[in-house]
Structure 1
């Protein structure tokens, strides 16, 4: 258990006053336009780019984009890739863009691709888990979502005429989960915070309603080629959840409002890399995300 968060009163959920105090304490730390939008535009020769909405906040207007392969063949299944649902999880954003840049075109004879590389751009700029309203987009993928980031992404994907066979959502687990984000969550909700053991390495979160263990295993085997997989703790768990197999746990993504749970795709997973590990690097984390996408493709091409 950690000390009381610096905003709010122990045991009392935040009101709008505390949420505004939290918002005013956030600062811009990097540029979405320079690090993400600029790279998206540079990919225009290899994919089609669609702006699917705009997030208009006091900090500014943030356009959000989807990337799709050119010459879509509607007879082919579609793979959905999402990143930056939590804006601070950098390798998810960079991994999605790296896949488009280096790999996507070689698979377009078998699949269509829909890629939303950075769903939460304000979170990306402030290196934050929440949006400016102190709402977690990755607990908000449901009807009448309180997070505009989640609403826009769902609305765009759900109106596509696409047979989405798989959805991979790219995430990270970082030391700031325990030092900042879990304490903030407990304070916001008026609860007692309990930190979790942060796994050292890559792992997957499957969906309890459609776990598809062979699918998850194929992804883990691909990622193992470029970065290490997290071992379970002494309780055979990762982040307090029993492991289903090496490097894999399961959540009920739909009931929790997780991004991977909003589509009807039969094959879904959420990646988690650990960028704070002494045994990895920023580039290796990005490579691990790309390898996970390639694992999805390898599994789907096997049948």
Structure 2
């Protein structure tokens, strides 16, 4: 099916105009509250962590402040870990998994690592359940110099100001049925292109970096997560979302060239999780647990290494 021809906004065969983008934005409505579901939980963490505001979205600065959570007893001799969630705001378990990790696990690793968590990079997207920001821009293709997405720019500026080496960066995502029903058709219409691959993997998988795949790191995470949720099989062509398998449950992308979140941090070990919340085999809690275990198993792997690069 040519999804670009059936989306309700735009003229088939033509890229979206400013008017088309405005029509798309006018369709969006608030579905859930960032204040209650994210900010209130972060406020409750202030006793044990440094909760720091690093910006606010210009769409509504009072409504959409941006926060990171940092472990205390910061020591530049320790490796620094970055966890990001909600780059795509609609991916619920990424946001809630990042928060759950702070609530239940981060202190267990704070003696060995400095930990930075940005739990909800795109709060407008979280409230409206959107992959894009209000300008119809995908933040996870915008971690580039002079970023067109203020969500991405704000996080990059925040991490740059910390002036630390990021040893590992784990970015928490989901692949959902709405990728097929809404976001990919909208993307095809916006850019006046045809997308041929509409396969949604049924299960958890990881996206590594083509130039720095860290295969053993990915394997360790996949093995740990497989104990709590199922790993996505390949499609009939042996691929996941159109990409050749690097190993069981893992594909690789050129993260920096594509402007993906794990590309901007220049991390030594990086991975992007993909949970499938629409599977009949899982529920919301299972998805959150999978995200937490992805983080903790990654940290467990790093803990076993004889030498890690500390901050410079």
Contact 2:229 2:290 in 1 (8 A): yes
2-structure distance, mates of 1:295, 1:82: 16
Match of 2:119 in 1: 117
1-structure distance, mates of 2:154, 2:11: 33
1-structure distance, mates of 2:221, 2:162: 26
Match of 1:93 in 2: 95
TM-score relative to the length of structure 2: 0.95
Match of 1:24 in 2: 26
- After superposition, residues 126-205 of structure 1 pair within 5 angstroms as 126-205=128-207
TM-score relative to the length of structure 1: 0.98
Shift of 1:195: 4.0
Secondary structure of 1:159 counterpart: helix
Q: Does 1:82 align with 2:84?
A: yes
Secondary structure of 1:114 counterpart: strand
Secondary structure of 1:169 counterpart: strand
In the superposition, relative to structure 1, how do residues 290 and 81 fare at CA in structure 2: closer, same or farther (>3 Å)? Answer: same
2-structure distance, mates of 1:150, 1:79: 18
2-structure distance, mates of 1:248, 1:192: 26
Shift of 1:193: 3.3
Match of 1:50 in 2: 52
1-structure distance, mates of 2:231, 2:192: 35
1-structure distance, mates of 2:99, 2:167: 20
My pick for the range that moved more, 3-12 or 131-140, is 3-12
Match of 2:11 in 1: 9
Secondary structure of 1:82 counterpart: strand
Secondary structure of 1:45 counterpart: coil
2-structure distance, mates of 1:231, 1:85: 25
Match of 1:245 in 2: 247
Shift of 1:225: 1.5
Match of 1:289 in 2: 291
Contact 2:188 2:195 in 1 (8 A): yes
Match of 2:65 in 1: 63
Give deviations 1:63-88, integer Å, cap 9, x for gaps.
00000001211110101000000000
Secondary structure of 1:38 counterpart: helix
Secondary structure of 1:256 counterpart: coil
Contact 2:98 2:291 in 1 (8 A): yes
Match of 1:268 in 2: 270
Match of 1:105 in 2: 107
